[in-house]
Amino acid sequence: MVKLCALVRYLGVSSVLLLGGGSALLFAETIEVSLYKMQFVPAQITISKGDTVRWLNQEKRQYHSVWFEQLGDPEAEYFFPEESVTRTFNEAGVFPYRCGPHPKMTGTVIVKEARSASDPKIVDSARQQELTYMVKQDCGSCHGMLLKGGLGPALLPENLKQYSVADISAIILYGRPGTPMPPWKGILSELDANWIANSLKAGVIHQDD
């Protein structure tokens, strides 16, 4: 419970909700996209009506914009490293966008109808245990049994500070071409990957538990 409270402090009150005495973790409907190395990461996201997307500029010096040109919007204002912009999507559909000053930077937001009560955006306690075991066993075999690094880099909070949840989730799902890091999309959902990414950044998963 102490570690879950630490995760709440990291994500903010509006970002997570503990249910059933802390038995489950419910993530808020704010999805983060990073702007890094002249790319939107991830370039395509799927959300529900009413969700908000936050674009965070993680470049060292480069400014960007998020421009929904095909909607007829005027070119968006530029924002600089460490700055962010948000947009809430209240209509279902497919919404392509691009960076105004860098036309080759493109992304897509796919908005689906709001989830029903039978399809909540939640990782229950049983699934949390499964994912924790997977991180400790499968990820630990490459990233070190204490997650301090091995064949792969360390996965401790201080090592992941520069990466957003979206960055880590994308790597989990799609791997890193040219490295031993494989894609896990075949066995993990986007929700699973987001939970793992949040948990690693908050220090919820440790090998010495």
pLDDT, residue 95, reads 97
Strands (E) in 104-178, as ranges, are 106-112, 122-123
pLDDT, residue 69, reads 96
Cα 70 to the center of its chain, rounded Å: 26
Q: What angle do CA 126, 205, 154 make, to 5 degrees?
A: 140
Question: Are 185 and 124 within 8 A, CB to CB?
Answer: no
* Ranges in the chain annotated CATH 1.10.760.10: 121-202
pLDDT, residue 138, reads 85
What is the CATH number that goes with domain 121-202? 1.10.760.10
- Cis peptide bond upstream of 42, omega within 30: yes
pLDDT along the chain (209 residues), means of 10: 34 36 46 88 83 90 96 95 94 96 95 64 76 88 86 88 88 86 86 88 67
pLDDT, residue 85, reads 96
Q: pTM for the complete prediction?
A: 0.50
Tell which residue, 128, 150, 124, has the closest CA to residue 139: 150
* Ranges in the chain annotated CATH 2.60.40.420: 30-112
Looking at CATH, the fold of the domain delimited by 30-112 is given as Immunoglobulin-like (2.60.40)
pLDDT, residue 29, reads 66
**Angle, helices 125-134/190-202, rounded to nearest 10 degrees:** 70
